Amino acid sequence: MFDKFKNESGGIVEEKTKNEDIVSSSEVDLSSEIGIGQLIGKRAKLEEAIDYVGLLIKNLKEKRTLLEKNIEEESVDIKNLKEKLQKVSEYIDEESRGIKELTKKRQQVENEADEVGSIINVLQEKLVGVDRIIDSEENRVKKIKESRDSTDG
């Protein structure tokens, strides 16, 4: 309906209507009468202006509709990104908890290793003590044998 006002690039151009052609030819005849010719001319211009405003309104509605569509698409994209980020945050939290648990377990194993080391040191000291006793007893036995051998001999 308003295509006559659009040029190739989508802009609005002015174009004479059929009413203006009729008005301009009849203006001469009617101008001498009670000013009806001018009134018809004004009416034709007002109709043209109303058509032009209607076209502007239509274009604005189309632009608004397109803008609403774009905003909705962006909203959906942002919601999807937000959900992904929440999942990433949950993953990070889960990994942090896992690391804390591993740290706690490592500390327990380290404590147990320290205990085992202490036990080994205690047992080693006991073994050294037993070894000294055995060496001492061995030396006594040797002395006893030597003293026997020297008395027997």
State the chain's mean pLDDT as an integer: 84
Burial (CB count within 10 angstroms: exposed 0-12, middle 13-18, buried 19+), residue 19: middle
pTM of the model: 0.46
Q: Residue 35 — pLDDT band, cuts 50, 70, 90?
A: confident
Q: Residue 150 — pLDDT band, cuts 50, 70, 90?
A: confident
pLDDT at residue 12 above 70?
A: no
Q: CA 68, CA 81: separation in Å to the nearest integer?
A: 20
Helices (H), the chain: 18-30, 36-152
Please write the tens of the pLDDT for every residue from 78-123: 999 999 999 999 999 999 999 999 999 999 999 999 999 999 999 9
